[in-house]
Structure 1
Amino acid sequence: MTPRRLIPLLLASLSLAACQARGPAQVAATGVAATDEDAAWYIGTMPDQPFEVPLVDRGRIDPKYRRQVVAYAGPEKPGTIVVDIDERLLYLVQDGGEAIRYGVGVGKLGFSWKGTATIGRKGVWPDWGPTRTMVGLNPDLPRSRKGGLDNPLGARALYLYQGGRDILFRIHGTNEPWSIGEQMSSGCVRMLNEDIVDLYGRVPVGTTVLVKRHGRYRV
């Protein structure tokens, strides 16, 4: 097993009552020397409730995937979220020909999708449960996990709906910051925890989300 996979698996084995265990956030916050490749990704924490948000060393992130304001010439209305699967980028369209751009991780080959959705609900440190497809591929997956530092959805989640129905895709945080810019998920859009907290605070329920591949979001 590679060091990169070690901390999430160790964290998954801990109960929420054991939050004082030295996961990546605790190592970064306390200044204890990191002996694992994962812990070296973290440089501190950001205040939040009921858990502090682990902060990633952005020097490890390709500059393309760091949160930034960029020029934006697309036709979408301000307030729209546009996810470019091919570029691994998410745009929150702003007034004045600009957008806030975030790096994301996307679905691995065969799991990504495109189309139009809306944010049907929002969650803070949300609970997680696998889809039927995920269980079919890995029957040993836990059937639920409470929100927390070890949770695959991270600090926030935006739940995507079509026609008033949850389509089981989310825009959410991650405890695997090295996956930003990669195709690793089961179809959801991953963001750094600090970035999903930022986006969460900017968008209401009902926000339009356009997910495009090959420059198109319509089938």
Structure 2
Amino acid sequence: MEKIYKIGYLLLLSAFFTDISSQDIEIIVDISDQRLYLIENNDIIESFPVSTSKYGEGSIENSFMTPLGLHEIKEKIGKNAPLNTVFISRIETRKQAQIIESPLDTEDDFVTSRILWLDGLEEGANKGPGIDSYDRYIYIHGTHEEGLIGQKASHGCIRMFNEDVINIYNKVIKGTKVYIRA
């Protein structure tokens, strides 16, 4: 019953997107499910496991929390990078990450394969001084810690399996709306 309710809620959110976006594709990140939903024409077309912040939800600068609310993809980085490529400061290093498939939290926080850099759209909630998602470098990206996908483990970003983030990257454009909910 709860699953049906959540899907209904997600479809209601996707109807909300129709009023704010002329695009056919939107993204909903549901932190309670640790899932990312790809919505097209108000239908869920794909669902992917994700990993959001192990520090919880919030927008405060340097909190390492995942921000909530409405965002858009401001930048897409890594178009032709090979699978598992490591990025440092959004620059492709040409190094390949060693993928950890067990649920091991390492000291490293590699950004891998693709980057979808988010910009908050809600002034005072995820946009503006001290709370700005773009200034906080909040991304949807691949990770070397794939064994932690499906549980809260990130430092604020939305982590995905590397193949999944490439899949999403190829389906969205700059300006695609992303709604993050708890």
TM-score interval for Structure 1 and Structure 2 normalised by the shorter chain: 0.5 to 0.7
Q: Is the 8 A contact 2:75 2:174 kept in 1?
A: yes
**Corresponding residue of 2:115:** 157
The percent of aligned pairs where both chains have the same amino acid is 27
Q: If each structure's strand is expressed as a fraction of its own residues, which one has the higher value?
A: 2
Measure, in 2, the Cα distance between the counterparts of 1:120 and 1:96: 22
The alignment's C-alpha RMSD in Å is 2.7
What's the offset of the Cα at 1:147? 5.0
Q: Report how far residue 99 of structure 1 moved.
A: 2.6
- Where does structure 1 lack aligned partners over 5 or more consecutive residues? 1-69, 131-143, 214-219
Q: Which has the larger radius of gyration?
A: 1
**Partner Cα distance (1:98, 1:199) in 2:** 13
SS at match of 1:178: helix
> Where does residue 148 of structure 1 map in the other structure?
95
What is the TM-score with the length of structure 2 in the denominator? 0.63
* Counterparts of 1:112 and 1:98, CA distance in 2: 23
Report the Cα offset of residue 205 of structure 1.
0.5
1:145, distance to aligned residue in structure 2 (A): 7.8
Is contact 2:26-2:39 (8 Å) kept?
yes
Tell me which amino acid in the other structure corresponds to 2:115. Answer: A
Q: Which residue of 2 aligns with 1:172?
A: 141
Map 1:6-21 to 2 at 5 A. none
Hey, which of these two has a bigger chunk of helix by percent?
1
Output the CA distance in 2 between the equivalents of 1:128 and 1:74: 37
Aligned counterpart, 2:28: 82
The one-letter code matched in structure 1 to 2:68 is K
CA contact (8 A) 2:11 2:42 kept: no
Q: Relative contact order: is structure 1 or structure 2 higher (C-alpha 8 Å, sep ≥ 6)?
A: 2
Q: Extract unaligned runs of 5+ from structure 2.
A: 1-6, 19-23, 57-64, 98-108, 122-126
Paired residues in the alignment total 131
What are the equivalent positions in structure 2 for 1:72-151 lying under 5 Å apart? Answer: 73-76=11-14, 77=18, 78-95=24-41, 97-110=43-56, 111-124=65-78, 125=81, 127-129=87-89, 146-150=93-97
Q: Which amino acid aligns with 2:120?
A: Q
How many Å apart are 1:161 and its aligned residue? 1.3
User: Would the alpha carbon gap of residues 96 and 184 (structure 1) be closer, same or farther in structure 2, given more than 3 Å must change?
Assistant: closer
**TM-score in terms of structure 1 length:** 0.53
Amino acid at match of 1:127: F
Separation (CA, whole Å) in 1 of partners of 2:92 and 2:42:
42
Q: Is the partner of 1:87 in helix, strand or coil?
A: coil
Kindly report which structure 2 residues correspond to 1:59-74, keeping only aligned pairs within 5 A, or say none: 73-74=11-12
Quote the offset at 1:97 in angstroms. 2.9
Task: Give 1:183's match in structure 2, choosing from 152, 156, 170.
Answer: 152
CA contact under 8 A between 1:105 and 1:182: conserved in structure 2?
yes
